[in-house]
Amino acid sequence: MSGSKAVAGATPDEPREPAVPGSSGMSLACADVSFSYEEARAPIPAVRDVSFELPAGGSLALMGASGSGKSTLLQVVRGLDAPDTGAVLLDGAAPVDAGYAALQREVGLVFQAPELQLFAATAREDVAFGPRRLGWPEEQVTAAVDTALDVVGLPPAHFAERHPYSLSGGEQRRLALAGVLAMRPRLLLLDEPFVSLDPGTRRQLVGILERLKAAGVTLLLATHDVDLAWALCDELLVLGEGRLVAAGPWDFSTAGGRLLAENRLREPFFVELWRRLGRDPQRAPRSASAAAEALS
Amino acid sequence: MKATIAQYYAGDSLLHRLDPRAKFVAVSALAVALFVRDSFAGLAVYAAAAVLAYALSGVPVAWFWRAFRPLLWLVALTFVAQVVFAPGDPFFSFWFIHLSWRGLELAAFLSLRLVVLVLVGSVLTLTTPSMALTDGLAWLGRPLRRLRVPTDELALMVTIALRFIPTLLVELDTIMRAQRARGADFRHGGLGERTRSLVPVLVPLFVLSFRRADELALAMEARCYRPGAVRTRLHPLRAGWSDFALLVVTAAVIAAGLLV
Chain B CB contacts of A133 under 8 Å are: 182-185
Instruction: Answer yes or no: do A284 and A204 share one domain.
Output: no
Higher pLDDT, B86 or A58: A58
Q: Which of B1, B173, B182 to mutate to test the interface with A (most CBs of A within 10 A)?
A: B182
Condensed to tens digits (0 to 9), the pLDDT of residues A160-197 reads 999 999 999 999 999 999 999 999 999 999 999 999 88
How many other C-beta atoms are found inside a 10 Å radius of the C-beta of residue A270? 20
Which band of pLDDT confidence, cut at 50, 70 and 90, is reported for residue A15? very low
Residue B238: C-alpha distances to residues A14, A26, B123 (Å): 74, 65, 20
Q: What percent of chain B has a predicted confidence (pLDDT) above 90?
A: 32
Which band of pLDDT confidence, cut at 50, 70 and 90, is reported for residue A1? very low
CA of B181 vs chain A CAs: smallest distance (Å): 6
Instruction: Answer yes or no: do A275 and A194 share one domain.
Output: no
Instruction: Answer yes or no: do A133 and A172 share one domain.
Output: yes
Decide if A210 contacts A202 (C-beta within 8 A).
no
Q: What percent of chain A has a predicted confidence (pLDDT) above 70?
A: 92
Q: What is the mean pLDDT of residues B43-70?
A: 87
- Supply φ then ψ for residue A175, to 5 degrees: -60, -45
Decide if A243 contacts A50 (C-beta within 8 A).
yes
Condensed to tens digits (0 to 9), the pLDDT of residues A85-117 reads 999 999 999 999 999 999 999 999 999 999 999
Separation of alpha carbons B260 and B255, rounded Å: 9
Instruction: Answer yes or no: do A239 and A279 share one domain.
Output: no
Which band of pLDDT confidence, cut at 50, 70 and 90, is reported for residue B37? confident
Q: A231: part of which helix (H) or strand (E)?
A: helix A226-232
A155-159, A245-249, B63-67 — most confident range: A155-159
Can you give the residue range of the structural domain that contains A285? 266-296
Instruction: Answer yes or no: do A80 and A192 share one domain.
Output: yes
Which band of pLDDT confidence, cut at 50, 70 and 90, is reported for residue B5? low
Chain A CB contacts of B201 under 8 Å are: 119
Q: What percent of chain A has a predicted confidence (pLDDT) above 90?
A: 81
Chain B CB contacts of A80 under 8 Å are: 177, 180-181
Q: Is the dihedral of CA B176, B182, B184, B185 positive or negative?
A: positive
Which residue in A150, A145, A147 sits closest to A122, CA to CA?
Answer: A145
- Which 3 state secondary structure label does DSSP give A191? strand
Q: What is the pLDDT of residue A270?
A: 96
Using the predicted structure, report yes or no on whether residue B24 has a pLDDT greater than 70. yes
Instruction: Answer yes or no: do A197 and A293 share one domain.
Output: no
Condensed to tens digits (0 to 9), the pLDDT of residues B192-217 reads 888 888 899 999 999 999 999 999 99
Using the predicted structure, report yes or no on whether residue A278 has a pLDDT greater than 90. yes
Q: What is the pLDDT of residue A31?
A: 95
Using the predicted structure, report yes or no on whether residue A6 has a pLDDT greater than 80. no
The overall average pLDDT reported for chain B is: 86
Decide if B21 contacts B133 (C-beta within 8 A).
no
Using the predicted structure, report yes or no on whether residue A142 has a pLDDT greater than 50. yes
Contact A180 B182 (CB under 8 A): yes
Instruction: Answer yes or no: do A198 and A67 share one domain.
Output: yes
The overall average pLDDT reported for chain A is: 89
Backbone angle region of B11, left / alpha / beta, with phi > 0 → left and psi within -120 to 50 → alpha: beta
Q: What is the mean pLDDT of residues A119-131?
A: 96
Q: What is the pLDDT of residue B4?
A: 52
Separation of alpha carbons B165 and B7, rounded Å: 13
Q: What is the pLDDT of residue A9?
A: 37
Q: What is the mean pLDDT of residues B167-187?
A: 91
Residue B11 forms contact with A (CB below 8 Å): no
Please, what is the end-to-end C-alpha distance for chain B in angstroms? 44
Instruction: Answer yes or no: do A189 and A72 share one domain.
Output: yes
Contact B200 A40 (CB under 8 A): no
Amino acid at B210: F
Which residue in A178, A169, A165, A166 sits closest to A124, CA to CA?
Answer: A178
Q: What is the pLDDT of residue B99?
A: 75
Residue A156, preceding peptide bond in cis (omega within 30° of 0)? no
Half-sphere exposure in the Cβ direction for B53 (13 Å, CA): 29
Chain A CB contacts of B1 under 8 Å are: 39-40
| Residue of chain B whose alpha carbon sits nearest to that of A115 | B204
Q: Across the strands, what pairs with A90?
A: A28, A93
Q: Is the dihedral of CA A39, A43, A45, A50 positive or negative?
A: positive
Residue B256 burial (C-beta neighbours within 10 Å; 0-12, 13-18, 19+): middle
Instruction: Answer yes or no: do A165 and A29 share one domain.
Output: yes
Decide if B228 contacts B153 (C-beta within 8 A).
yes
Condensed to tens digits (0 to 9), the pLDDT of residues B130-145 reads 888 888 888 888 888 8
Contact B200 A117 (CB under 8 A): yes
Condensed to tens digits (0 to 9), the pLDDT of residues A18-66 reads 444 446 899 999 999 999 998 766 788 999 999 999 999 999 999 998 8
CA of B72 vs chain A CAs: smallest distance (Å): 21
Please tell me the least confidently modeled range out of A259-263, B45-49, B186-190.
Answer: B186-190
Which residue in A160, A169, A235, A234 sits closest to A205, CA to CA?
Answer: A169
Contact A39 B199 (CB under 8 A): no
Chain A CB contacts of B183 under 8 Å are: 105, 129-130, 133-134, 183
Residue A102 forms contact with B (CB below 8 Å): no
How many other C-beta atoms are found inside a 10 Å radius of the C-beta of residue A210? 15
Q: What is the pLDDT of residue B162?
A: 81
Q: What is the pLDDT of residue B49?
A: 92
Contact A116 B204 (CB under 8 A): yes
Condensed to tens digits (0 to 9), the pLDDT of residues B247-260 reads 999 999 999 988 88
This model of the complex carries an ipTM of: 0.85
CA of A105 vs chain B CAs: smallest distance (Å): 8
How many other C-beta atoms are found inside a 10 Å radius of the C-beta of residue A259? 17
Please, what is the end-to-end C-alpha distance for chain A in angstroms? 43
How many separate domains does chain A show? 2
Residue A69 forms contact with B (CB below 8 Å): no
Q: Is the pTM of this model over 0.80?
A: no
Residue A95: C-alpha distances to residues A101, A172, B115, B186, B254 (Å): 8, 34, 47, 22, 62
Question: What long-range pairs does B179-183 form, CB within 8 A, spacing at least 24?
Answer: B179/A117, B179/A129, B180/A80, B181/A78, B181/A80, B181/A108, B181/A109, B181/A111, B181/A180, B182/A129, B182/A130, B182/A133, B182/A179, B182/A180, B182/A183, B183/A105, B183/A129, B183/A130, B183/A133, B183/A134, B183/A183
Higher pLDDT, B87 or B106: B106
Residue B183 forms contact with A (CB below 8 Å): yes
Condensed to tens digits (0 to 9), the pLDDT of residues B100-134 reads 888 888 888 989 999 999 889 888 988 998 888 88
Chain B CB contacts of A73 under 8 Å are: none
Instruction: Answer yes or no: do A187 and A287 share one domain.
Output: no
Decide if A193 contacts A208 (C-beta within 8 A).
no
Instruction: Answer yes or no: do A79 and A19 share one domain.
Output: yes
Instruction: Answer yes or no: do A178 and A286 share one domain.
Output: no
Q: What is the pLDDT of residue B6?
A: 56
User: H helices of chain B, where?
Assistant: 14-17, 20-36, 40-57, 61-68, 72-85, 101-127, 130-140, 151-181, 191-196, 199-222, 241-259
